[in-house]
Amino acid sequence: MEIGEMLNEIEEKDKKINSFIVLDKKGISRRDVPNKGKLKNLLVGVKSNINVEGLITSAGSKTLENYISPYDATVVEKVKAEGGQILGMLNMDEFACGSSGETSFYGATDNPSARGHISGGSSSGSAASVAAGFVDISLGTDTGGSIRNPASHCGVVGFKPTYGVVSRYGLIDMAMSLDQIGSFARDVEKAALLLETITGYDPKDETSLKLDPEFYRFFKNLNPGLKGIKVGYADEFDRLVQDKGIKKVIHKALNRLSSAGTEIIDVSLPNLEIALPTYYLNVYVEFFSATRKYDGRRYGHRIEDACGEEVLRRILLGSYISQKEYSGKYYKKALMARSLIRKELSDALKKVDVLVGPTVPKLPHKLGTKIEDPMIMYAYDVFTVPVNLAGLPAGTVPAGKVNGIPTGLQVTGKALDDQKVLNVMYGFEQCG
């Protein structure tokens, strides 16, 4: 089928899912894309906070509803250079603030694998477009779980690399010390292929790491062998998981890993619970500072006039905490707690190759459910945020279903052990 025909079909089907904000029918992003390369013939979706030249890069917000990007993010340049066919810009929580995909100015995204339920967030469209089969692969971003959470809810693979492995140049920041761009696909091979395409040192991003070229060959070096791999599991996962069905699926996954020759080892993460408040304090402060440029002069609307409730909450709290900071009461404490969490994770990982556990503590709620208390929404992130606080690589791979709703196994590795994490996900996918 021609891309044009395909786009018409997607447009029709997506009326129900709402995974795309912009469908690139004019082919602006496919102009001059070579008909060769690692991503040849693969259909790609891009989260709306990653700049694609000539397309509206709105970050899911009314603030940027008319912002047509004048340039390509480094990851987009790389996708194009390898022949990836970009179909458009995907839906997301406003400025990536959310866990459900419902805070988008463009409306919520339905879950193709569990219709009528949230697809998860903030990369709601990235997960849903892959789950619906509209695209083969997609780019998402993960500040506190935004790749892994929707991957889990939609039953697809999502991977967030070690901080610094993928360039953030051209990404609209949410919280720059935590944000990373990563990949979605229906299987680990394609997720690794997209990752291999977008990684690499980028002088335009000062947090980008310069590593040996072999490090970045994630697809080429995929290896499903699980024999002798030491897998850590923390008690705290069982204590904090809210849904018994998820707990069952995860314990089955542990059995599957153990039958495939891995050694399951108990580890302890006693401060897992403080990761959530630590994360949100960090985010409020960094997000407040990142949004000061949306003052209505350069980029369309002034953010405070155009944004939704969750974004406004973060701006107000971030401003308050920043003003009070002379007393060191909140942010300084949050930074100390962040170091503690980082140390605890790195100690736990010293004994094992990877940690595995649930991605989310509860199943996706039904679309339209009113959630008044933000803490109930934030609770989705309990298992994903520690990874970002520590800058580690982690991915989610489908592990099973609870009442027909998918849930994913989260695999976390030491910094720069991205390949090992992918390999365990690959092995798990194949030993089912």
Residues of this chain that bind ligand GLN (CB under 6 A):
96-99, 122, 142-146, 174, 283, 381
Catalytic residue among 19, 47, 160, 190: 47
- How far, CA to CA in Å, does 55 sit from each of 176, 194, 304? 23, 21, 24
What is the residue type of 396? T
The residue (of 85 and 146) whose beta carbon lies closer to ligand GLN is 146
Distances (CA, A) of 353 to 191, 334, 348, 365, 430: 21, 28, 10, 33, 19
CA-wise closest residue to 197 among 40, 52, 386, 1: 40
Active-site residue, selected from the candidate residues 100, 122, 126, 183: 122
Return phi, psi of residue 34, to 5°.
Answer: -70, 155
The tokens describing 323, both together, are: 């003003």
Of the pair 52, 394, the CB lying nearest ligand GLN is at: 394
- The least distance separating ligand GLN from the CB of residue 385, rounded to whole angstroms, comes to 7
- Output the smallest distance, CB 231 to ligand GLN, in A: 25
What's the distance, CA 180 to chain centroid?
8
Q: Which is nearer to ligand GLN, 99 or 183 (CB)?
A: 99
Which residue number has the CB closest to ligand GLN? 146
Q: Could you tell me which of 424, 432, 297, 289 has the C-alpha nearest to residue 356?
A: 424
Per DSSP, the three-state class of 153 is: helix
Q: Identify whether 47 is a catalytic site residue.
A: yes
- Amino acid letter at 328? G
Instruction: Closer to ligand GLN by CB, 101 or 406: give it.
Output: 101
H or E element, residue 323: helix 309-323
Annotation says 80 is catalytic = no
Give the separation between CA 302 and CA 290, rounded to whole angstroms.
Answer: 13
Closer to ligand GLN by Cβ: residue 159 or 219: 159
- Closest approach of Cβ 71 to ligand GLN, in Å? 22
Report the nearest approach of ligand GLN to the CB of residue 97 (Å): 5
The verdict on whether 123 is a catalytic residue reads no
Q: In terms of residues, how long is the chain?
A: 432
Q: Which of 146, 152, 183, 208 is catalytic?
A: 146
Please, what is the minimum distance in Å from the beta carbon of residue 401 to ligand GLN? 23
Positions marked active-site: 47, 122, 146
